[in-house]
Amino acid sequence: GGAAPAAGAPKRGGKATMVVWQWPVLLNPLLGTQTVQVDIGYLVFDGLTRVKPDATREPALAKEVPTVQNGGITADGKTVTYNLKDNLKFADGSPLNCEDVKYTWKAYMTPGVGVVTTTGYEDIEDIDCSNPQKAVLKFKKPFAPHLTLFGSILPRSAGDPKDMKNWKLNQLAYGAGPFKVTEFKTDEYITLVRNENYHEAGKPYLDGVTVVFKPSSEVALQSLVSGESDIMWNNTEADLPKLEGKPGVKISSPEGIGGERFFFNLAENKDGSDPSKPHAILGDVKVRQAIALGINKQRIIDTLLFKKGRPGTSELNSGFFACTQIQPVAYDAAKAKALLDEAGWKPGADGIREKNGTKLRLKFSTTSGNKLREDSQILILEDMKNIGVEFFVENQPSAVILGTWDSPSPRRRGNFDILMYTTSAGADDPHSQMVNLWSSSRIPSEKNKGGTNYTRFQDPKADDLLAKAATEFDPAKRKDMYCQLAQMRSDLVDMVYLYQRFDLESYRDRLQGWEENGPASFAASARNWWLK
């Protein structure tokens, strides 16, 4: 007989169970962005390239990541060629070639089906499939973040894109990833089995993964601790004391990108705000700097995040594009008071500062019903009182705060002082986030109802940097442009970065091959999972 496998060598077989406490409405990556859906999507779909834990890319269905050096990108940046691996198949056995890349593009561009984004896809003029092994993308204009496209290739066998809402694939999902869905029982379970046509020989090692729904995170946690399940999806910091030191339990905590922050309204606080008119109080950079200096971020992290987390720095706090030169704003109440004195705000009889008969009083809003946010508001109110600033809380449901111009949402309409919530750039490419937050073309208005530049920040230098970055294919040069922008607005304080959380999951140590991957997902390593 042959030699026994080495002790650490992966063995084939067995099923892993993952417990979730939110249910994915569907699994089609073109139709939703729920976190639970995105994570499960990594088990099912594969793209031309994939994001590694360090936020760089490696080939998946393509033989290599196209670059100017290897001939994959033309000098003018308008043609990008992917050489596909040989004999690729989808989980249903149908062949995978350039026509499926083109089909996926067409699906994104089908009007009226409600895809999650067309950014980048709308810049493609055509995909040339004259050689089925080569997908030749012809862009109307250079699109530097082109690698963010085609993270999931859909099979032509899915059906007519116009009929997407009725596709079987929305629930019984299959693609070119390591597993395919054979059962989807709403609010109960999803059964995934090995894709026998997977493009990496011998993988995945597992026979399958079963996703089981639990009614709450507490019940899910119990299931993991008791050993009934192998993986618990999406832990919060409050779970950590219940998991640490438990036999057989491991905690996965890669650094996330982005994080919780204040959005200051730099323009007047009124419905349909005019961005050319500065905010009566927050229009002064010294006031904004004082507020940033007056918040004790470490106290929030120690008290509410069980010391797991770190003070926020900038939009680009992690991964390849991280602006390491931008440090967190240190807590300094004395400096904050001095700045407010300089700005002419003097303490009144009640300790709250005043200037020309106006109190230094600001409305502070976040999404209601979120305990972590409400608890952090209490600490921030204390910090502000300490420097003579009065914040008053007026929270609203996330559907209102994060809603549309017509709903009406205060962040779109501009009738707010300070909003607090979390957002993040794409971990492997921040371009769209940088444009959304700081391009003057994205300031919301009656004419631009979908605008996303909520602080109403505008600077021709920033617009110029963003335009240059969009056509710069050298990532190091592009990073330099984004970091110039991040520095510029760090100096101007249109936001205060409070804290950055970790992506928390937990799993049993019998599950091997796990890889922490903050930029993508823990499930991006599922092809390598095995049970000992």
**How do residues 11-64 score in pLDDT, each as one tens digit?**
999 999 999 999 998 999 999 888 899 999 999 999 999 999 988 899 999 999
pLDDT above 90 (res 219)? yes
pLDDT of res. 6:
61
What gap in Å lies between CA 148 and CA 258, rounded to an integer? 18
Q: Which residue has the higher pLDDT, 207 or 426?
A: 207
pLDDT bucket at 243, cuts 50 / 70 / 90: very high
pLDDT bucket at 287, cuts 50 / 70 / 90: very high
| DSSP label at residue 2 | P
pLDDT above 50 (res 309)? yes
Nearest alpha carbon to residue 291 among 315, 263, 310, 319: 263
- Mean per-residue pLDDT of the chain: 94
What gap in Å lies between CA 522 and CA 371, rounded to an integer? 26
Q: What size, in residues, is the chain?
A: 532
pLDDT above 60 (res 299)? yes
Contacts of range 438-446, beta carbons closer than 8 Å, 24 or more positions apart: 438/462, 438/466, 438/485, 438/489, 439/463, 439/466, 443/275, 444/405, 444/411, 444/412, 444/413, 444/414, 445/272, 445/275, 446/272, 446/405
pLDDT above 80 (res 3)? no
Contacts of range 225-228, beta carbons closer than 8 Å, 24 or more positions apart: 225/249, 227/508, 228/17
Per-residue pLDDT of 455-478, as tens digits, reads: 999 999 999 999 999 889 888 999
pLDDT of res. 370:
86
pLDDT of res. 257:
79
Q: What percentage of the chain reaches a pLDDT higher than 70?
A: 99
Q: Which residue has the higher pLDDT, 254 or 257?
A: 254
What gap in Å lies between CA 290 and CA 426, rounded to an integer? 30
**Lowest mean pLDDT: which of 289-293, 378-382, 467-471, 478-482?**
467-471
Per-residue pLDDT of 322-375, as tens digits, reads: 999 999 999 999 999 999 999 999 999 999 999 999 999 999 999 998 889 999
DSSP output for 381-421 = HHHHHHTT-EEEE--B-HHHHT--TTTT-HHHHT--SEEEE
Average pLDDT over residues 154-178: 97
pLDDT of res. 1:
39
Per-residue pLDDT of 52-102, as tens digits, reads: 998 889 999 999 999 999 999 999 999 999 999 999 999 999 999 999 999
Instruction: Please give the distance of CA 352 from its chain centroid, rounded to a whole number.
Output: 38
pLDDT bucket at 7, cuts 50 / 70 / 90: low
Average pLDDT over residues 410-424: 95
Per-residue pLDDT of 255-267, as tens digits, reads: 887 899 999 999 9
Q: Which residue has the higher pLDDT, 379 or 117?
A: 379
pLDDT of res. 116:
83
334 CB burial (10 A radius; 0-12, 13-18, 19+): exposed
Question: What single-letter amino acid sits at 461?
Answer: K
517 CB burial (10 A radius; 0-12, 13-18, 19+): buried
pLDDT of res. 5:
53
The order of strands in the sheet holding 346-347 is 346-347, 353-355, 358-359
